[in-house]
């Protein structure tokens, strides 16, 4: 697995550091480096801890350094994040487009985020290989730092293959042919009892109900429910 690092430069809000830690962990990353944050002990701030929301391991292992050069040690591909292109800077490109071009041979990569108030300095942008610009609505492109980190982390994880969606419940067991036929027989009896079906002139009602049941791909539990309804209808007529 290639090295993936997230670098926050001169972060001024402790909550954003916690939110960034959470964003990393939920996407399977854990390398967070803070360059000259407003508080050297920002990872101990209550707001950071609260917004980390279960990602305390990432927060506690975040490194605090003095320069961006230290933060980029061991990195071969630097991605700045900035909404505004810089003269003489690296090309600006949407994250997904850029990630598609490097995902087959992922480099030792770092994503660098500037401060909440001023963004990234020109010097920090110039040292980057590419400037990632998250596509937003033309009239409003303001993203919270934590949101920006989450979007980049998600897009990079997807480019690397992503995670499978884990079902929250077990796959339902489909009713077998015998159970479905038992349901249809039960409903036929009930429909006759309530006068909806004339056994002397059934027309195509039961074949149509049979096709309806087949299309519905009823589960065993659903068959049980529908037979319970039929019993209740019969009981109400007594």
SS (H, E, C) 79-125: EEECCCCCCCCCCEECHHHHHHHHCCCCCCEEEEECECCCECCHHHH
pLDDT of 218 reads: 94
Give the confidence band of 182 by pLDDT, cuts at 50, 70, 90: very high
Structure confidence by residue, pLDDT tens digits, 130-156: 999 888 888 887 788 999 999 999 999
Structure tokens at 225: 């429910």
- Angle at 16 (CA atoms; ends 32, 20), nearest 5 degrees: 35
Domain membership flag for residue 122: yes
pLDDT of 82 higher than 80: no
Q: Please give the backbone phi and psi of residue 111, each rounded to the nearest 5 degrees, phi first.
A: -110, 125
Model confidence at 111: pLDDT above 90: yes
Confidence of residue 86 (pLDDT cuts 50, 70, 90): low
Between residues 164 and 1, the one the model is more confident about: 164
Round to whole Å and give the CA distance between 171 and 174: 9
Judgement on whether residues 14 and 120 belong to the same structural domain of the protein? yes
pLDDT of residue 226: 95
Range of the domain at 66: 4-159
Residue 169 structure tokens? 């419940």
* 227 domain residue, yes or no: yes
166 token code pair: 């884990």
Asked whether residue 142 falls in the same domain as residue 217, the answer is no
Cα–Cα distance, 42 to 39 (Å, whole number)? 5
User: How far is 159 from 101, CA to CA, in rounded Å?
Assistant: 9
Domain boundary at 90, 124, 159, which?
Answer: 159
- At residue 115, the pLDDT reads 86
Cα separations in angstroms, 179 against 69, 213, 223 = 69, 11, 7
> Which of 6-10, 36-40, 234-238 is predicted least confidently?
234-238
Q: Are 112 and 77 spatial neighbours (Cβ–Cβ below 8 Å)?
A: no
- Asked if the structure places residue 82 within a domain, the reply is yes
What separation, in Å, do the N-terminal and C-terminal C-alpha atoms of the chain show?
Answer: 70
* Whether 42 contacts 145, CB under 8 Å: no
Name the average pLDDT for the chain.
90
CA–CA distance, 201 with 216 (Å, rounded to integer): 26
Q: Is residue 167 one of the residues assigned to a domain?
A: no
Give the whole-angstrom CA distance, residue 168 versus residue 174. 18
**Is 108 found in the same domain as 45?**
yes
Under the banding of pLDDT at 50, 70 and 90, the label for residue 238 is low
Q: How many domains would you assign to the chain?
A: 2
- Candidates 237, 236, 225, 223; CA nearest to 184 is 223
DSSP class per residue in 156-181: HHHHTT--PPPPSSPPPPBPPHHHHH
Residue 213 is part of a domain; what is its CATH number?
1.10.8.590
Residue 108 sits in a domain of what CATH number?
A: 3.40.1280.10
Q: Is residue 171 part of a domain?
A: no
């Amino acid at each position: 697995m290639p090295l993936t690092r997230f670098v926050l430069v001169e972060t001024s809000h402790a909550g954003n550091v916690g939110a960034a830690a959470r964003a990393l962990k939920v996407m399977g990353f854990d390398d967070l480096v803070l360059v000259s944050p407003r508080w050297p002990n920002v990872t101990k701030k209550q707001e950071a801890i609260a917004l980390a929301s279960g990602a305390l391991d990432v927060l506690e292992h975040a490194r605090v350094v003095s320069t961006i050069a230290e933060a980029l040690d061991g990195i071969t591909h630097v991605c700045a994040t900035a909404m505004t292109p810089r003269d003489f800077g690296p090309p600006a490109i949407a994250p997904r487009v850029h990630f598609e071009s490097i995902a087959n041979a992922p480099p030792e990569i770092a994503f660098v985020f500037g401060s909440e108030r001023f963004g990234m300095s020109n010097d920090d942008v110039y040292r980057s290989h590419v400037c990632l610009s998250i596509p937003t609505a033309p009239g409003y492109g303001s993203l919270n730092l934590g949101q920006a980190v989450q979007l980049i982390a998600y897009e990079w994880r997807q480019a690397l293959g992503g995670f499978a969606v884990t079902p929250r419940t077990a796959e339902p067991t489909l009713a077998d042919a015998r159970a479905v036929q038992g349901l249809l027989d039960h409903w036929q009896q009930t429909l006759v009892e309530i006068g909806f079906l004339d056994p002397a002139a059934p027309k195509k009602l039961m074949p149509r109900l049979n096709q309806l049941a087949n299309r519905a791909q009823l589960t065993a539990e659903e068959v049980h429910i529908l037979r319970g309804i039929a019993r209740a209808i019969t009981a109400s007529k007594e």
